[in-house]
Structure 1
Amino acid sequence: MGTNRKMVEDFKKAMMKEFEMTDLGLMKYFLGFQVRQSTGEVFICQEKYIEDLLKKFHMVACKPVSTPMSSNEKLQQEDAVEKVDAKTYRSLVGSLIYLTNTRLDIVHSVSLISRFMNQPSKLHYVAAKRILRYLQGTKKLGILYKKENGNNLVGFTDSDWAGSLDDRKSTCGYIFCLGSNVIA
């Protein structure tokens, strides 16, 4: 239906007869997502959301880092470090979780820091702020969906095998693509 303009226009007219609505044209911004559409492609990002997040947590002028988390970072619940305000920490982590809709590169890091929402320490907060520093340098990244022929379904998965220092549970992740387009 999406590639046949006459069908799309007929559908819009039928919906407008049935419901009170207005055609606003191509979507540009929706629930914190910026959408850029061109022939055969749709690009989704959350650049403005990241800028607002950096303002909210006073990180606008922070120095960017090249990775969202240090590769040898091992966080644990009882780290004997001073605790921080749990409400502020939960707000930051919740905001980062919403950002993972378009930023698959931070999913693992956000998953790790979200384990400590009850009693976050300064180390946990520093790890969360490092993700903000990473976002500072990568605001414009997002997901590009391209029209392709002959799409193959491809999936990848990985696990850290007992990587949690608290309970020895594993963290695993996956990605599924239809052609070069990420779908899960």
Structure 2
Amino acid sequence: MLLVDDLIVTGNNPKMFEDFKRAMTKEFEILDIGIMSYYLGIEVKQRDDGIFISQEGYAKEFIKKFDIKNCKLVGAPVECGIKPHMNQDGEKVNPTLFKNLVGSLRISKRILCYIKGTINYGILFAFADDFKLVGYCDSD
């Protein structure tokens, strides 16, 4: 890995990478940090199946700071099926009241429990020979 003023450069062609690094060194003061393990709050784990990035350390600090070690784990930051633009009777919600609700402790606590429940989540950039781009979207 090569760090250039908060820029990461990486590649799978060692010769091209070294040529690029030499060219950059001629123009800029650079710091070669080797294999990256942490960058701007993101942990980078080099694994046999690929590169895994997450914010596990940050989430653990967050949990400790707000003392939520014993909360019930949840898999989503908000309750499923809630329609914030309507109240229980199907009437439109007052936008000011809704903004107050979003800032309430109940919602905040659920988000904290979500962080704790998803602490090991991250993104795996898997090594593959077929190079297919796959994306997922939550329709909600």
TM category, shorter:
0.5 to 0.7
* Structure 2: tracts of 5 or more residues without a match: 1-9, 86-92
Q: Distance in 2 between matches of 1:39 and 1:4?
A: 18
State TM-score, norm by structure 1.
Answer: 0.53
- For 1:75, give the aligned amino acid: P
Deviation at 1:153? 4.1
Q: Deviations over 1:130-177 (max 9, x none)?
A: 1210221321110101122223345555645xxxxxxxxxxxxxxxxx
Q: Distance in 1 between matches of 2:48 and 2:38?
A: 18
What stretches of structure 1 move > 6 A for 4+ residues in a row? none
- Residue 49 of structure 1 aligns with which residue? 58
- Residue 9 of structure 1 aligns with which residue? 18
Q: Distance in 2 between matches of 1:74 and 1:62?
A: 29
* Structure 1: tracts of 5 or more residues without a match: 84-115, 161-184
- Residue 78 of structure 1 aligns with which residue? 94
After the TM superposition, which residues 27-66 of structure 1 pair with which residues of structure 2 at under 5 Å, given as runs? 27-38=36-47, 41-56=50-65, 58-66=66-74
- Residue 125 of structure 2 aligns with which residue? 145
More helix by proportion, 1 or 2? 1
Deviation at 1:124? 4.6
Superposed CA RMSD in Å reads: 3.1
Q: Distance in 1 between matches of 2:32 and 2:75?
A: 41
Aligned residue among 91, 111, 128 for 1:131: 111
Q: Distance in 1 between matches of 2:53 and 2:138?
A: 25
Count, aligned residues: 123
Q: Deviations over 1:96-128 (max 9, x none)?
A: xxxxxxxxxxxxxxxxxxxx5xx3237854123
Percent identity over the alignment? 38
The answer to whether the 8 Å contact 1:29/1:35 transfers is yes
